[in-house]
Structure 1
Amino acid sequence: MGYTRVIQVANLSPSVTREHMRNLFYPIGRISDMKLFPERDNPVIPVATKILFIKFDSSETVSVALHLNNTVFLDRMIDVRAYEPGKIPDETTALQAANALMMSHQATMSHLPMREDEVMKTIINPNQKKREDQIARTVVASNLPDVSIDQVMNFFSQAGDVKFLRAATGIDENGIEVRGAFIEYAALNSVSVALSLNSAFFEKETIM
């Protein structure tokens, strides 16, 4: 990977919104620009998929964002990759890329039977390498309240033994601080329990 500051996030559900994407990626690092295509929803001509481009302030943040590749978000496993041109494309180019990638995904993987309320994300395939197993036991939570690491740890421990937790904060486009966390569980079966915490209230905030 080069020094691009732009990522491409494809295979997104057509129900994905800009706010969904903001909550997922703002805790990772400061964002200088973000565009979700198509930019306007058309109820007459529904789309099969959406695609997102994010430009971070630092190329180092791209490496962190790539850890979300193959994460299940809503009903699909998203495709996160560095966008080497380094510049967010126009809508026509973006949608061409989205359709090409969607066809590729349909040809190589089957639909994942996820419930619509499973907005928190996790990797489903835990096989092969140690890194893949680690990712399989990790969920990503966003919209966390302003609390201590210990409080976050205690909240997510109700799903199982937490092996590692990394909290992150960022500033959104409105200057508001947003918070998220990567939670790695010791056991894979804790993941399904953690997913049930989606939309639960945590210190007056609805976590995602």
Structure 2
Amino acid sequence: MAGEMKTKIIQVTNIAPSATKDQMKTLFSFLGKIDEAKLFPEDESVPVNSKVCFIKFEEASNVGVALHLTNTVFIDRALIVVPASFTKIPDEVSAMQYAAPANAVAGMLPAKSCWPTNVVNQVTGVGSNQVIQTIDPRLASLGLPPYPPLPATLDSTKVDEIRRTIYMMNLDASVTAEQLMQFFLQVGEVRVGST
């Protein structure tokens, strides 16, 4: 079936620092049987602004249901629940990279425009091989390829602008700019550029 979840793992971010693994496990156990749950950081003495949790369900169908808990206020935070793009729960170092606020790239402030809360930019790689990856669970769930990587040195406002840009070619000569504008205005705000 198109759009069916293939992953069994969800990533939950924007978790209150006082939340415990048992609380997260209890919350999500109402949705289905849990194989594994991890809450990071594991060391309670480490001061953090937010925690990140990974839940692996026995059934992939539970992932789609879990997404409905996005924006559920738990303790004092609205949770952000997205399907994970990996097959096993990451280690603590990798997991804490996901705890950054949605839309943030490590070391950069988020751009002013509003991405969906489950679309996250992150820097991956080491040294000169660092790139910005944009993780959009909806693309993965629809079987579409991910956004191409961008240079890690790129300004965060440019990342947002690039990700929102589409390029059209091979249009029929009779299609006018006004027709294109009207078509895309059905989706949202349109800014016209040229190359």
Q: Which structure is richer in relative contact order (CA contacts within 8 A, separation 6 or more)? A: 1
Q: TM-score, normalised by structure 1?
A: 0.47
Q: TM-score, normalised by structure 2?
A: 0.50
Larger % of helix: which?
1
Larger radius of gyration: 2
Larger % of strand: which?
1
